[in-house]
Amino acid sequence: MLKRRTLISALSAASLLLATSAFAQFAERTIKFTNGVAEDHPVGLGVKKMQEVLAAKTGGRMKINAFWNNAAGGDLQATQALRAGTQEMVCTSSSPLVGIIKELGVFDLPFLFANEKEADAVLDGPAGAYFNKKLEDAGLVNLAYWENGFRNLTNNKRPVAKAEDFEGVKVRVMQNNIFLDTFKTLGTNAVPMNFGEVFTALETKTIDGQENPFVTIETSKFNEVQKYLSVTRHAYTPFLILYSKKLWDQLNPQEQAVLREAALEGQKVERTAIRAQSEKSLASLKTKGMQVNEITPAEQRRMFEKVKPVYEKNVPTIGAEPVNIVLEALKKARGG
């Protein structure tokens, strides 16, 4: 009996040693991950998947500590912390980063993508890799493109069904020149504002409206302070899962590989979830009393014609190269 116990103890010790040595290449790390959305947004499911992958692949040595709703600062502030090497990760839309990497402005051009399939083809292909290189040059490592989605307009003045309906509506936009230009060109009074301030500004009627994907509109409870939702689909923005280049360079190749794997697994979960939830959110916003109107294809074209000067004005700033790379990738995705 004693021999058997000794054998079992020895086997247990050997198994523990093997398990420990299997994860030996991973240091104990708690990675600070910040973003501006609520935890019940699909990004939360993507982060959960990342946490699961890291737990399984590193024996729990690498963990993500997530902060929601700008609790640890806004996207731009966090991104600058990554560049400085004082924070590890952020999930941010491409739009706040245009001041750092001007080429990302191509994703803010109005009515660029027709659907999610086109966006995936561009972002997950050579065009996405082109932007990843630009990000790395700026001190940021992009682990994967997730989805923020197509943006739509809400306001308290009127339904926006045609190009003229934008006139005079005071709309919060991101602190981003192309969005400002787009909404000014459409005739609105465009107000740049941090996302964290938007609900209160709508509640106090400092602004009439804002623009975001359906899921963000619902999870941010904008339906409580907004009457009209117009399905404008005027812009598609990706989320980027960024890691500090300074801190990335301190990781060994195994740690880097497992983080990339976790982000790509998270991407599958987040994209699937956001597309399903987008439909649910739209239905839910209707039941919560928002008046929803679609835009006809003819009016969509009229809106596009009206914002053509935004392309003419901003392409020189963004750079012809990134715009051409995206347009060529789009042509290929469309079978052209």
Instruction: Check whether 3 has a pLDDT greater than 90.
Output: no
pLDDT at 329: 97
What mean pLDDT do residues 51-59 have?
A: 97
pLDDT at 7: 56
pLDDT band at 12 (very low <50, low <70, confident <90, very high): low
Quick check: pTM over 0.85?
Answer: no
Is residue 16 included in any domain, yes or no?
A: no
Tally the domains of the chain: 1
What mean pLDDT do residues 256-262 have?
A: 98
Is residue 190 included in any domain, yes or no?
A: yes
Instruction: Check whether 296 has a pLDDT greater than 80.
Output: yes
Q: Which CATH number goes with the domain that contains 276?
A: 3.40.190.170
How far apart are the C-alpha atoms of 2 and 17, rounded to whole Å? 22
Helix (H, G, I), strand (E, B) or coil at 73: coil
Is residue 148 included in any domain, yes or no?
A: yes
pLDDT band at 6 (very low <50, low <70, confident <90, very high): low
pLDDT band at 4 (very low <50, low <70, confident <90, very high): low
How confident is the model over 83-127, as pLDDT tens digits? 999 999 999 999 889 989 999 999 999 999 989 999 999 999 999
Is residue 22 included in any domain, yes or no?
A: no
Is residue 186 included in any domain, yes or no?
A: yes
How far apart are the C-alpha atoms of 64 and 277, rounded to whole Å? 24
Burial class, 55, CB count within 10 angstroms (exposed 0-12 / middle 13-18 / buried 19+): middle
Is residue 4 included in any domain, yes or no?
A: no
How confident is the model over 20-39, as pLDDT tens digits? 567 889 999 999 999 988 89
- pLDDT mean across residues, the chain: 93
Domain that holds residue 266: 27-333
Paired tokens of 302: 């009229």
Point out which residues pair with 304 in neighbouring strands. none
How far apart are the C-alpha atoms of 61 and 26, rounded to whole Å? 6
Is residue 265 included in any domain, yes or no?
A: yes
Instruction: Check whether 288 has a pLDDT greater than 70.
Output: yes
pLDDT at 100: 94
Instruction: Check whether 18 has a pLDDT greater than 60.
Output: no
Is residue 306 included in any domain, yes or no?
A: yes
pLDDT at 16: 47
Closest CA to 216 of 35, 78, 38, 33: 38
- The upper half-sphere exposure of residue 328, i.e. CA atoms within 13 Å in the direction of its Cβ, equals 11
